[in-house]
A = this chain, B = another copy of it.
Amino acid sequence: MARGTKITIRDVAARAGCSVATASRVLNRSGATSADSRARVERAAADLGFAFSAIGRALQSSRSMTVGVLVPSLANPVFAEAVQGAQEQLRDAGYQCLIASSTYDPERDAEALRVLTAKQVDGLIVTMVAPEDSSELGAARASGIPAVLMFHDPRAGLLSAHVDNAAAAREVARRCADAGHRNTGFLALRFSTSDRSRARFTGFMQGCAALGMAAPVLVEVSEDEAASPAALARTLSAHPGLTAIFASNDVLAIALQRAARELGLRVPQDLSVIGFDGIEIGRHLDRPLTTVETDPEAMGRQAARLLLAMLRGEMPEPPAPLPFTFRPGATLGAPAEDRDDDRAATRSPSAHPDQNPSFKRT
């Protein structure tokens, strides 16, 4: 069933009655060829159903037309969308994507980088646990493989497609302050392996400090806690004084709301919740999520554009951070202390009284 015999350019040349050099020139439209041989070669290639072997080409040109993309996990929609964006942009330039994921494990980051460079990728787009500490990334760059980061804040000599996490978090602090919150928390998952999470916390702290609020309480949760509403509720109940919690991403923010309900807390009346990322689904919820909206796909595209420029031999400027927008949603409101204060009610633009039909005042 399987005809194992691949047809190569020499088969084409043989059938066209010319040398492989000529066949190559015709098929690549490189070099001069007579109309006659052009026709014969093209005919032969079509008859035989010839297709170039990218391997042979790569070996000869030492360009694989392949880019390595490393992300923590495709199961996180934020990274998946970024990869999608990068992939689209690269495809337009004739590059393919070899992807790897680390499940947030630095050891696997290193292994993936080794494999990708062994596969002779022409460039790298990476989001990893600790880019600055990775000897593999350093080695790749030293051996001439251009690399750009995604999601990370830019660091020593490395370009990055990113949003300004700290600035966005400061904006969140401002919105919390505007709504009247003083005692806030930051809910973090994988704090130690995600510099995004850390940058957001730092920015949030700065913002809170600048606005005279109490320092936010850092609430770290494990993978398991985040997955179970009951467990998350238990953790949450250890911090009764908080009126607003900024979650390090949207999925966590949604889980947090569920946990709050478990404790009989209403959102946003008893607890305000703010997310990060702006995933699609957040805006389709009955009570749309208050969040910082980013565009991971655009981030992926920007990373790809930067890399393509470097592959062309250019030395692109460090890009400006990608824009984010604060999406008001309906999960940030005035804190309960302010509830009875009638000034507070008017100060709370995001509290949608009709978010749940059963609460409709009619």
Q: Which residues does A use to contact B, with CB under 8 Å?
A: 1-4, 6, 49, 51-56, 58-59, 62, 64, 66, 73-75, 77, 80-81, 83-84, 87-88, 91, 96-101, 114-120, 139, 141-144, 229, 251, 254-255, 257-258, 261, 264, 266, 280-281, 284-287, 297, 356-359
A-B contacts, 11 listed (Cβ < 8 Å): A2-B143, A55-B55, A55-B119, A55-B120, A56-B59, A66-B98, A83-B99, A255-B284, A258-B285, A264-B357, A358-B358
- CB of B51 within 8 A of CB of A118, answer yes
- CB of B258 within 8 A of CB of A75, answer no
Residues of B close to A114: CB separation below 8 A: 51
A53, A75, A98, A120: residue with the most chain B Cβ atoms closer than 10 Å: A75
Contacts A55-B58, A55-B120, A97-B99 aside, 11 further interface pairs with beta carbons under 8 A come to: A53-B118, A55-B59, A55-B64, A74-B74, A75-B80, A96-B100, A97-B98, A229-B284, A254-B281, A266-B357, A356-B356
- CB of A117 within 8 A of CB of B51, answer yes
Query: Closest chain B residue to A358 by CB distance?
Result: B358
A3 to chain B minimum Cβ distance, whole angstroms, is 6
In the complex, what distance in Å separates the CA atom of A88 from the CA atom of B99? 11
Residues of B close to A358: CB separation below 8 A: 266, 356, 358-359
In the complex, what distance in Å separates the CA atom of A192 from the CA atom of B36? 45
Which of B53, B55, B80, B118 is close to A80, meaning CB atoms less than 8 Å apart? B80
In the complex, what distance in Å separates the CA atom of A99 from the CA atom of B88? 11
With contacts A74-B84, A142-B1, A142-B3 taken as known, whether A120 is within 8 angstroms of B281 at the C-beta atoms is no
Residues of B close to A287: CB separation below 8 A: 286
- CB of B281 within 8 A of CB of A258, answer no
In the complex, what distance in Å separates the CA atom of A311 from the CA atom of B81? 30
Residues of B close to A62: CB separation below 8 A: 6
Query: Closest chain B residue to A83 by CB distance?
Result: B74
Residues of B close to A49: CB separation below 8 A: 139
In the complex, what distance in Å separates the CA atom of A229 from the CA atom of B4? 53
With contacts A59-B56, A117-B51 taken as known, whether A286 is within 8 angstroms of B258 at the C-beta atoms is yes
With contacts A3-B144, A87-B101, A142-B1 taken as known, whether A96 is within 8 angstroms of B80 at the C-beta atoms is no
A314 to chain B minimum Cβ distance, whole angstroms, is 14
In the complex, what distance in Å separates the CA atom of A114 from the CA atom of B297? 25
In the complex, what distance in Å separates the CA atom of A272 from the CA atom of B211? 46
A205 to chain B minimum Cβ distance, whole angstroms, is 27
Query: Closest chain B residue to A1 by CB distance?
Result: B142
Residues of B close to A1: CB separation below 8 A: 142
Query: Closest chain B residue to A355 by CB distance?
Result: B261
Residues of B close to A3: CB separation below 8 A: 142-144
Q: Which 4 A-B pairs have the closest CB atoms?
A: A2-B144, A80-B80, A74-B84, A358-B358
Residues of B close to A74: CB separation below 8 A: 74, 80-81, 83-84, 87
- CB of A144 within 8 A of CB of B4, answer yes
Query: Closest chain B residue to A254 by CB distance?
Result: B284
Which of B55, B96, B254 is close to A115, meaning CB atoms less than 8 Å apart? B96
A341 to chain B minimum Cβ distance, whole angstroms, is 22
Residues of B close to A84: CB separation below 8 A: 73-75, 101
